[in-house]
Amino acid sequence: MSSGEDDEVDLSALATISETCREFRRLHEASDRAMAVIPRWYALCVNDAAVELGEAATAATRAAPSARLDAFLERGFAHESEKARAPEKLTSAIEDVGRCVASMGDAVTRANEALGEFVEATSGRRPSDDGDARWIADVPVPVMRTAFKWGSEEEYTIEQWLWMATSVVEQLERELETRRKILDYVRGGVASARAEELDGCVALWSAQPFVDDRLFAIVCGDSADADAAAAS
Predicted confidence (pLDDT) per residue in 90-126, tens digit: 999 999 999 999 999 999 999 999 999 998 888 877 7
Helix H or strand E segment including 165: helix 158-189
Q: What angle do CA 153, 171, 134 make, to 5 degrees?
A: 85
Residues 158-170, mean pLDDT to the nearest whole number: 93
Residues 213-228, mean pLDDT to the nearest whole number: 79
Tens-place pLDDT, residues 52-99: 434 443 443 454 455 554 454 454 444 566 777 888 999 999 999 999
Share of the chain above pLDDT 70, in %: 72
Model confidence band, residue 45 (pLDDT cutoffs 50, 70, 90): confident
DSSP 4: S
Query: Residue 54: left if φ>0, alpha if ψ -120 to 50, beta else—which one?
Result: beta
What pLDDT, on the 0 to 100 scale, is given for residue 113? Answer: 95
Q: Is the model's pLDDT at 8 over the cut of 90?
A: no
What pLDDT, on the 0 to 100 scale, is given for residue 132? Answer: 63
Q: Is 153 helix (H, G, I), strand (E, B) or coil?
A: coil
> Does the global pTM surpass 0.95?
no
Note the CATH architecture for domain 12-41+86-231.
Answer: Up-down Bundle (1.20)
